[in-house]
Amino acid sequence: MALLPKNVFFPALLVFCLTVEVLARNGPYTPPNVTRLTDRFSHLSYNRGFSEFYGGPNIQLISNGSIVNIKLNKSSGSGLVSQNKYHYGFFSAAIKLPAGFSSGVVVAFYMSNADVFPHNHDEIDIELLGHEKNKDWVLQTNIYGNGSVSTGREEKFRLWFDPTAQFHHYSIIWNSHHIVFLVDDVPVREAPHTVAFSSVYPSKPMSVYATIWDGSQWATHGGKYPVNYKYAPFVASFGEMVMDGCKLNPTEAAQSCSKSGLSSLDPVDGEEFVKLSRQQSMAMEWSRKHLMFYSYCRDPSRYKVLPPECNVK
């Protein structure tokens, strides 16, 4: 092997180390092939499926409502809330994240019923956390059930692509069988509805939210890197919205999601949604091996006694 001159050895070593660091963060990963569930459903326009949640001046509908830009600036964040509540289903959005310095910025696609059940609400979260390093966004997933907000069930993942360059799909399957988080149709996390998880399993109808906000106090190393509004406005674009499932009917005393002639694509009880296929399970093993860097089930400093579902094999 040829030896490097002394005057270039350390710069070359530094470049090598930085390259290794970048690869370790972002991959040179190619995800496994999976069934593209996001191609199976029709898209709902934002002007028909959503209402303003907050920050109206920072919300911009474009392309006849098929895309919405939501903005964070020094005045306010912004967000939308679905016009319907859902009791189970498949929920997905194509999202393009703000480019450039994004530390402290949080873009969220999530479900919640905190407006109706303020003290025992359910929540299923996809949160995309900005970073002090450009493009190095973090995906955080979380589940709350029956007001278990003091015991968050977070898992964090790095992405294998630049989420600021183009749209990528972030999806949630939620039914009585399991909750699954997917990125570009690749499952990254599954929470089966087991006996161990039943007391905190989200079970009440929820609205769907799309928001951008200032998470300076916690989003990056406990607030070490707050939002720098010198780089504002921060704009997140949402497109290809899917909300397909069992809509809450306020006039019915008991909610029924049963359908005659059940299709395999029914997101409540269809065979493609009640359990992961072998292909999807293998893809999830890949994502958790290469991309996950935090799980509440691996945090004994936070949980002296791990939640019961963490002990289920």
Q: What is the pLDDT, as a whole number, of residue 36?
A: 96
In this prediction, residue 5 has a pLDDT band, given cuts at 50, 70 and 90, of very low
Return the H-helix or E-strand segment holding 141.
strand 138-144
pLDDT of residue 150: 67
- Report the pLDDT value the prediction gives residue 4, as an integer from 0 to 100: 37
CA distance 135 to 309: 33
Q: Which residues pair with 156 in a beta bridge?
A: 140, 294
39-53, 88-102, 298-312, range with the lowest pLDDT: 298-312
pLDDT, averaged across the chain:
87
* Distance separating alpha carbons of residues 69 and 142, to the nearest angstrom: 24
Give the per-residue pLDDT at 259.
58
Residues 75-109 as b or e (16 or more Cβ within 10 Å = b): ebbbbbbbeebbbbbbbbbbbbbbeebbbbbbbbb
Q: Is residue 22's pLDDT more than 60?
A: no
Dig out the tokens for 149 from the structure: 């907000």
Topology classification of domain 41-248+265-311: Jelly Rolls (2.60.120)
Query: Which residues participate in catalysis according to the annotation?
Result: 123, 127
Taking residue 181's Cβ as centre, other Cβ atoms within 10 Å add up to: 26
Locate the domains of the chain by residue range: 41-248+265-311
Dist CA 235 CA 219 (whole Å): 17
What average pLDDT does the segment 61-67 reach?
Answer: 96
Inform me whether the pLDDT recorded for 264 exceeds 90: no
pLDDT of residue 8: 39
Q: What is the dihedral of CA 138, 291, 113, 63, to 10 degrees?
A: 60
Q: What mean pLDDT is predicted for residues 36-58?
A: 96
